[in-house]
């Protein structure tokens, strides 16, 4: 997976994927990413890599959950 700016397929919100890390107990690959919009719950998030890159259905179309937009600035 490329690190950089991604757009969420359902909300259209932008995020910056910073790191691929390992879960300390399961060793599962995880993505650390940052909300690039005002979010009162958190600025930084973590999600399983498999979930970050999976294909989801939006309005009857199969699309990536997060669409790569560009490299880090």
Q: What CATH number is attached to the domain comprising 34?
A: 2.30.30.320
34 strand-pairing partners: 16, 44
Write out the residue range of the structural domain in which residue 33 sits. Answer: 4-70
Q: Say what the pLDDT of residue 23 is.
A: 97
Bridge partners of residue 29, in order along the sequence: 22
Query: Comparing C-alpha atoms, which of 56, 42, 46 is closest to residue 8?
Result: 56
Over the chain (73 residues), the average pLDDT of each successive run of 10 is: 96 97 98 97 97 96 97 78
Q: What Rg value do the Cα atoms of the chain yield, rounded? A: 12
Specify the pLDDT at position 73. Answer: 64
pLDDT at 72: 78
How many structural domains does the chain have?
A: 1
């Amino acid at each position: 997976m490329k690190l950089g700016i991604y757009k969420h397929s359902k909300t259209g919100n932008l995020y910056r994927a910073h790191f691929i890390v390992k879960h300390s107990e399961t060793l599962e690959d995880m993505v650390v990413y940052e909300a690039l919009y005002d979010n009162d719950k958190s600025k930084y998030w973590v999600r399983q890599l498999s979930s970050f890159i999976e294909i989801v259905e939006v309005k009857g179309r199969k699309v990536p959950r997060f669409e790569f937009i560009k490299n880090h600035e």
